[in-house]
Amino acid sequence: MRIISWMIALGLLGSQGTAAALGEVQGDRVGLCREVITELLVTLDHAAGGAVAANLRRLWELLLHHLMLANAERSLERLDEVLAVYGPIADAFRWFERYLSFELHDTTGPIAAYGYSASYFVIFPALCLYVTWALARHRDPRAYQAVSLAVAIDYAISLPFFLFFPVPERWSSPMTEAMLLSDKVSDKLIEYMRPLSGLDNCFPSFHVSLTVLVVAACFLFRVPLRMAALALGGTIVLSTFVLGVHWIPDMIAGVAVGIASLLLAWRIVQRGRSPFLLRYGSL
């Protein structure tokens, strides 16, 4: 996701029309672009991705090639070729939020930084585990079955977007003036999430969709402490915005996917149309 941000930043240099401008920053920004693309390249899962992973490998290698030529030739035209690949996606999301300002984002106090970081990295998995435990003990086994199926549906809906519609995280685009606020706590936090959330798994927000799904399940199946779950879920959803991770379209899509997944799963379970699920009353 950082890849798009630095490419956009470099694209701004084109308006200056000088290769000298590129020379002033190429060791910094071009280098960072290359590091991020290299990370994307080496973390591809060819066994799971198949043809998609092979196509992405060719794309990353092409972008690396153009960046190396831009660096060697001090050529803004080479950078334009790189920008043409991802620029329109970042531009579209930035246009959607054109009235928002994160100019003072880096001045956010430690209470907000630690609090929302805790919501995003700690409370989120804790809430999911609590709801899983509560539903596993529910008198109606269909509740647990429905939520399990809903999570699978949620990811099935999200996966094509992760693979074919890569979107940069907000903090990675310098045009938004946002930063990754959790870095004020520790830059290791986001690294711990990377095995579960790839560099371009931004739209829709899986944090938001899964949070909305489990909170809605709390009310649908009358889980104890559901009002507390609602309050904690609200802080998790808000943290995706405050930390500078997700865009508003990510969050809106996440809410829609979470609710739709749960409703569809519950309908399937009620009708007994999933052969791998235990039928109510069969135990």
pLDDT digits 0-9 by tens, 43-95: 777 777 676 666 667 666 766 776 676 666 666 665 555 555 555 566 666 66
In this predicted structure, what is the pLDDT of residue 93? Answer: 64
Same domain flag for 249 and 110:
yes
Distance CA 82, CA 252 (A): 29
In a domain, 283, yes or no: no
How many percent of the chain have pLDDT more than 70?
61
The mean-pLDDT minimum among 51-60, 82-91, 134-143, 156-165 falls in: 82-91
- Are residues 210 and 154 in contact, defined by beta-carbon separation less than 8 angstroms? yes
Tell me which residue has tokens 């539903």. 135
Percent of the chain at pLDDT > 90 equals 35
pLDDT at position 103: 72
The predicted pLDDT at position 202 comes to 82
Last-in-domain residue among 61, 94, 127:
94
User: Which amino acid, 92?
Assistant: A
Q: How far apart are CA 90 and CA 73, in angstroms?
A: 26
Domain annotation covers residue 282: no
Residue 191's pLDDT band, with cuts at 50, 70 and 90, is confident
Positions of E strands within the chain? none
Q: How far is CA 34 from CA 68, 73, 150, 226, in A?
A: 8, 16, 38, 46
Residues 127 and 265 in one domain: yes
Total number of domains in the chain: 2
Provide the domain limits for residue 48.
2-94
Phi, psi of 81 (to 5 degrees): -65, -35
Mean pLDDT of 177-199: 78
d(CA 7, CA 151): 34
Q: What is the mean pLDDT of residues 13-30?
A: 45
Residue 276 in any domain: the answer is no
Amino acid at 113: A
Average confidence (pLDDT) over 177-203 = 78
Tell me which residue of 188, 169, 101, 152 sits closest to 274, measured CA to CA.
152
Q: Is 280 among the domain residues?
A: no
In 3D space, the residue among 35, 32, 37, 36 whose CA is nearest the CA of residue 9 turns out to be: 32
Q: What is the pLDDT of residue 4?
A: 43
Whether residues 115 and 230 fall in one domain: yes
75 phi and psi angles, rounded to 5 deg:
-110, 120
Residue 193 lies in a domain: yes
CATH number at residue 61: 1.20.120.340
Work out the pLDDT band at 1, boundaries 50, 70, 90: very low
Angle made by CA atoms 260, 207, 250, in degrees to the nearest 5:
70
112-116, 256-260, 274-278: which range is least confident on average?
A: 274-278
Q: What is residue 118's predicted lDDT score, i.e. its pLDDT?
A: 95
One domain for residues 231 and 144: yes
The two counts, helices (H) then strands (E), for the chain are 13, 0
Among 14-28, 105-119, 199-213, which stretch is predicted with the lowest mean pLDDT? 14-28
Q: Tell me which of 102-116, 134-148, 236-250 is least confident.
A: 102-116
Measured CA distances, 140 to 137, 152, 225, 228, 258 (Å): 9, 20, 18, 22, 22
Q: Which of 21-30, 138-147, 168-177 is predicted with the least confidence, judged by mean pLDDT?
A: 21-30
Answer for the pair 198, 111: CB distance below 8 angstroms, yes or no: no
152 and 179, same domain (yes or no): yes
| Residue 99 lies inside a defined structural domain of this protein | no
Q: Is the pLDDT reported for residue 205 higher than 80?
A: yes
pLDDT number for residue 91: 63
Give pLDDT tens digits for 210-230.
999 999 999 999 999 999 999
Six-digit token string for 85: 């690949």
What angle, rounded to 10 degrees, do the helices at 141-164 and 248-271 form? 140
Mark whether 71 and 111 lie in a shared domain.
Answer: no
